[in-house]
Amino acid sequence: MPRRWRPGGDRDVHPTSTRPPARTARPAGYVGGVFRSITARWEITRPEATISTEYVPPVIDAVRILILVMVLVTVPFATPHPGVGTRGIAIAVALGVTAIAWVIWLSARSRPTVYLTALVVMAAAGGALAGMSEFNTAVAVGCVVTSSAGVRLSTETSLAITAETVGAFLIAGLVTGETASILVGCPAAFIGLWAFGLTRRAYLLRAEQAERALEQARRAHAAENQAAAFAERARIAREIHDVLAHSLAAVSVNLQAAEGLLGSLPDDSPGLAKAIECVERAGAFTREGLAEARRAILALRDGSGPQAPRPLAEQLKSLTDEYRTDGDMAVDFRATGATRPVGAEADLTAYRTAQEALTNARKHAPGQPVSLSLEFTPDDLTVQVVNPLPPPDAAGPLANAGAGYGLTGLRERAALGGGTLTAGPEDGRWRVCLRIPAGAMRA
C-alpha cells in the first residue's frame, strides 16, 4: 500500500514530481525576514550584476547632501579639533577624503566601478573618522555607507563593505581609547542599517519580479486571445465552406441539368440559344463563386492552405479577361511598378475592389469602356478602376439591382486592411481608387 503524504507549501505537487518541495520551516519575525532576504539575494543576484539600478528620488539625494554638510560643519567643532596634533591631522585627512568620496559617490550612480570605489573609500575613511572623533555626527557616514551598500550591492559585496566600516571604526576607536559602549553601539548601528538595506533590496527584488510576472501574464493573455481569434476564424471558415461551397455546388449541378434539358429541345425554339447562353454564363459564375469562396476561406485561415494564391497581377488580368469574354464591355488592364508579394488580406481586398468596381460599371454604365490599373510603388499599392459616366437617361437594366452597400463594404474592408478607398465622379468619369500602404501589404 503506498504511503500517504501530507501537502506542504505546494499542495498540488506529487512526491514523484521533479519540482522542489516548498520550505515549511522558516524563521519568523524580523530576524527571519532578514535571513530570508539574505538567502534570496544569494540565490538571485548574479556576479555580473553587482550593483542594482535603483531609482533614487531627488529628496533622498537632498537628504544625503544635508548629512554631508552636517558632518563637515559639526566635526571641526568636536575635540580634538582637525589639524591640531597627530590625531587632529588624521581627523582632517579622514574628513577631507570622506567629503571627496561622498561627492563622487553621489555623482557616479550610473558608473558602477566609480560608484563602488567611492563607497569603499567612504567606508574606510568614514569608519576611521567616527572612531577618531568624539561621539558626533561622523557616525552618520558609516550609517549611510552600510545602508546604501545593503540596498544597491550584492550580499557578498555589501557584507565586505560593512565589515570594512566596522573594522576601520574599531581600529581607530581602540587606538584612540574610545569607551566600550561606543565600540559596541556604533558597530551595532552599522550592522542594523546594513540589515535594513538588505530588507529594502529584497523588497525591490520582489517588486521587480512581480513586474516581470505581470508582463509575462499580459503576454500570455495576449497570446491566448490571439489563439482564440485564430480558432474563431477557423470555425467561421468551416461554416462558410459548409454553407456556400455546398450550396454553390448544388446550384452548379442543377444548372448543368438545365443545360442538358435545354439541349434536348428543338433547335427552332425561340430564345433557346439565349437561354443556353445564360445558363452557361450562370454556370461559369457559379464555378467562379466556388473559387472565390475557397480564396476567402484561405484568407480567413490566415493564408494557410494547400495552394498559395496567384500573384495579384495575374488574378486581375484573369478577371478582366472574364469580363471581356462576356462581350458587353471593353475592359483594359495595365500593371506598373515592381511586383512584390502581397499578404492574403491585402490581396483579397484589392481583388474584391476590382471585382465590385467592374460589376458596378457593368450595371450603371453598360457598354462603356473600363480601365483597370494596378500600380506598385515603394510606399503603397494602388488599384484604380475608371469608366466614363453614362448619359443621365441611359440607365442600364441592372442599375437598380443590389442593395447599394457594395462600396460601403469595400471602404470598411479597406479600412480594416490599413488602406483607404475613394469613389466618385471626376472629370466626367467614375473613379474608384484603393490605396494600401506598404506596411499593410506584408503577408
In eight-state DSSP terms, residue 25 is -
The closest alpha carbon to 12, from 25, 3, 22, 24, belongs to 22
**Alpha-carbon gap, residue 11 to 25, rounded angstroms:** 15
Bridge partners for 336 per DSSP? 375
**Alpha-carbon gap, residue 158 to 149, rounded angstroms:** 5
The C-alpha cell that represents 40 in the structure block:
534570496
pTM of this structure: 0.42
**Alpha-carbon gap, residue 142 to 197, rounded angstroms:** 13
The C-alpha cell that represents 441 in the structure block:
501589404
Q: What is the CA radius of gyration of the chain?
A: 42
In eight-state DSSP terms, residue 268 is T
Whether 122 contacts 138, CB under 8 Å: no
pLDDT by residue, tens only, the chain of 443 residues: 444 444 444 444 444 444 444 444 444 454 455 445 444 444 434 433 455 555 667 888 788 888 888 888 888 877 777 777 888 888 889 888 989 998 998 888 778 888 899 999 999 998 888 888 765 678 888 889 998 888 888 888 889 999 999 999 999 889 888 888 888 888 998 999 899 888 888 888 888 888 889 999 999 998 888 888 877 777 776 666 656 655 666 666 666 666 666 666 666 666 666 676 667 767 766 777 667 676 666 666 655 444 456 788 888 998 888 877 766 678 899 999 888 888 878 888 888 888 888 888 887 777 788 999 999 998 899 999 999 887 766 555 444 544 456 778 788 888 887 889 999 888 889 999 999 998 887 65
Q: Which fold has domain 310-443?
A: Heat Shock Protein 90 (3.30.565)
- Taking CA atoms, 84 is separated from 79, 89, 283, in Å, by 10, 6, 114
**Alpha-carbon gap, residue 413 to 350, rounded angstroms:** 10
Sort residue 285 into left (φ over 0), alpha (ψ -120 to 50) or beta. alpha
What are the structural domain ranges in the chain? 29-218, 310-443
Sheet bearing 370-376, strands edge to edge: 331-336, 370-376, 380-388, 429-437, 420-426
